[in-house]
Amino acid sequence: MFVLATVMVVIDQLSKTWVARTLPLDGPDIPLTLGLGITHTRNSGAAFGMLRNLELRVGGFVIDGTVLLGLLSLLVSVGLIVYMSRNARRLTLLTRTALGLVLAGAIGNMIDRLRLGYVIDFIHFKVGSFDFPVFNVADSCVVVGAGLLILSSFLGGERHSHTTTVAGPPPPPPRRRAQPLEDYPELPPFGGRTSEPSE
The residues carrying an active-site annotation are 121, 139
| DSSP-derived secondary structure letter, 159 | -
What is the rounded CA–CA span in Å between residue 125 and residue 91? 34
Q: Are 145 and 105 in contact (CB under 8 A)?
A: yes
Q: Are 68 and 129 in contact (CB under 8 A)?
A: no
Closest CA to 154 of 86, 90, 94: 94
Closest CA to 157 of 97, 112, 101, 81: 97
What is the rounded CA–CA span in Å between residue 16 and residue 57? 31
